């Protein structure tokens, strides 16, 4: 009699052919998956590289703008065509500071003691302008005393294989090197002035704004060349505005004055911004009048703003000005105070929002009408100064000790 062990199991082994087939299947699977894995890795590296490049670019441009704007004198600069450029200047304490490129990295610091600032870069170029001609670069950069405006362009290298390099631009108007016998010296608190005399330039910095949609310059019978955002019905859709960037108004946080001449149709469109910087501050058409608003949550009491009573939607020119000095927020129309309210605190500059004329970046309705002589100060004008601005426009001192009105 035979006995069968119940614990014993018979298992057949894999044949050679089955082993070969399994290996072929595994090879096909890995061949299909490996490119996807590489693509995911490359995509991640590309995004990481782009983020680092963007952060480096922002650090560099803000550093250049902030420091060059405070320079007391430009002492040396490279030719505009030099891709590994440099610039030297005297700061407020008399130290000579320098930007240059070393081993593909931008360096900054006192001459002879530079430290790495940002990079890697494939290009750093400085282009300089004279206050009397902000359209044509200075040909002789050795004549440093004539430099009043500097534009720096840097191309940041992206370390990722599949990503692209990115170019950043910084600009700075220098309250320095001026010849008081021949050049105008502006109120140092006037950071932006747009007279629209045939162009969209901020005459303080020389930087040109970017018109969008049907925004353009036309001739008005009483004021000459002005900014026009044509009438297209009271429910005009967002799309017409002047993008002025951020450089001139970036650091306004303790006090501000925003002013403009406006000519609105009857009826006007209530709630649209005349001049704005996102939630930070804005002049607004409010009903048939105007208001000056600063972000509701940054000042106390929150949610309040001064509103005018005078009708500005009558087809006539009116001068609107809003001011904030840290304790009071005011709205003026045609040189006269309309309302003043008590508000305290610091303005949030909302750096993510750019400075617009004729619209607001976070709203969907454009301004309809004409605009002229837009002014922004990083200080609060008092009532007499607002009246003078209304009567005479922004003034300059041409070195004679007497204040003269801009043409």
For 174-214, what is each residue's pLDDT tens digit? 654 443 333 456 788 899 999 998 889 998 888 888 888 88
Q: Mark whether 158 and 212 lie in a shared domain.
A: no
Q: Are residues 347 and 390 both part of a single domain?
A: yes
Average pLDDT over residues 59-81: 84
Q: Cα 25 to the chain's mean position, in Å? A: 57
Instruction: Give dist(CA 134, CA 149) in Å, integer.
Output: 8
Task: Tell whether 220 and 340 lie within a shared domain.
Answer: yes
Do residues 204 and 106 both lie within one domain? no
Residue 170 has a pLDDT of 82
Of 211 and 148, the structure prediction assigns the larger pLDDT to 211
Is the same domain home to 251 and 366?
yes
Q: Name the domain boundary from 126, 150, 173.
A: 173
Please check whether residue 334 is in contact with residue 307, taking contact to mean a CB–CB distance below 8 angstroms.
no
Residue 344 and residue 198 in one domain: yes
Rg of the chain, C-alpha, whole Å: 30
Residue where a domain stops, chosen among 173, 208, 241: 173
Could you give the CA distance from residue 335 to residue 333 in angstroms, rounded to a whole number? 5
**Residue range 257-306, pLDDT digits in tens:** 999 999 998 766 778 899 999 889 999 999 899 999 997 677 888 889 99
Closest CA to 320 of 347, 348, 292: 292
Same domain, 168 and 195: no
Q: What domain count does the chain have?
A: 2
Are residues 203 and 334 both part of a single domain?
Answer: yes
CATH number, domain containing residue 354: 2.60.120.200
- Higher local confidence (pLDDT), 94 or 115: 115
Residues facing 318 on adjacent strands: 262
Q: Which DSSP symbol is given to 308?
A: -
CA distance readout (Å), 50 to 36, 92, 105, 164, 254:
21, 36, 17, 8, 34
Q: Is residue 85 located within the same domain as residue 197?
A: no
Same domain, 146 and 262: no
């Amino acid at each position: 009699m035979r006995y069968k062990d119940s614990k014993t199991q018979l298992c057949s082994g894999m044949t050679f052919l089955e082993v070969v087939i399994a290996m072929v299947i595994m090879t096909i699977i890995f061949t299909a998956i490996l490119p996807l894995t590489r693509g995911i890795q490359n995509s991640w590296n590309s995004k990481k590289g782009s983020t680092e490049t963007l952060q480096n670019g922002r650090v560099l441009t803000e550093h250049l703008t902030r420091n060059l704007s405070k320079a007391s004198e430009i002492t040396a600069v490279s030719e505009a065509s030099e891709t590994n450029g440099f610039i030297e200047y005297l700061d407020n304490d008399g130290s000579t500071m320098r930007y240059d490129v070393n081993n593909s990295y931008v360096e900054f610091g006192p001459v002879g003691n530079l430290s790495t600032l940002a990079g890697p870069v494939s290009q750093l170029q400085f282009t300089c302008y004279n206050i009397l001609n902000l359209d044509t670069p200075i040909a002789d950069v050795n004549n440093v005393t004539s430099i009043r405006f500097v534009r720096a362009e840097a191309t940041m290298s992206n370390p990722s294989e599949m990503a692209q390099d990115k170019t950043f631009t910084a600009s700075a108007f220098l309250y320095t090197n001026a010849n008081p016998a021949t050049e105008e010296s502006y109120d140092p608190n006037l950071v932006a002035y747009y007279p629209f005399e045939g162009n969209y330039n901020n005459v303080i910095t020389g930087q040109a704004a970017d018109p969008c949609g049907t925004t353009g310059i036309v001739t008005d019978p009483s004021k000459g060349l002005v900014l026009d955002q044509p009438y297209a019905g009271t429910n005009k859709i967002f799309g017409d505005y002047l993008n002025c960037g951020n450089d001139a108004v970036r650091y306004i946080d303790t006090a501000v004055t925003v002013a403009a001449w406006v000519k609105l149709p009857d009826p006007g469109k209530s709630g649209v911004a005349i001049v704005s910087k996102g939630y930070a501050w804005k002049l607004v058409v409010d009903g048939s009048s105007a208001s000056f608003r600063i972000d509701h949550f940054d000042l106390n009491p929150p949610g309040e703003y001064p509103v005018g009573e005078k009708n500005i939607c009558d087809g006539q020119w009116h001068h609107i000005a809003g001011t904030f000095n840290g304790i009071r927020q005011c709205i003026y129309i045609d040189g006269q105070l309309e309302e003043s309210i008590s508000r305290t605190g610091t303005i949030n500059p909302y750096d993510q929002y750019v400075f617009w004329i004729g619209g607001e970046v976070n709203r969907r309705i454009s301004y309809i009408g004409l605009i002229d002589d837009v002014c922004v100060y990083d200080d609060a004008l008092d009532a007499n100064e607002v009246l003078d601005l209304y009567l005479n426009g922004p003034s300059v001192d041409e070195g004679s000790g007497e204040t003269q009105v801009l043409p």
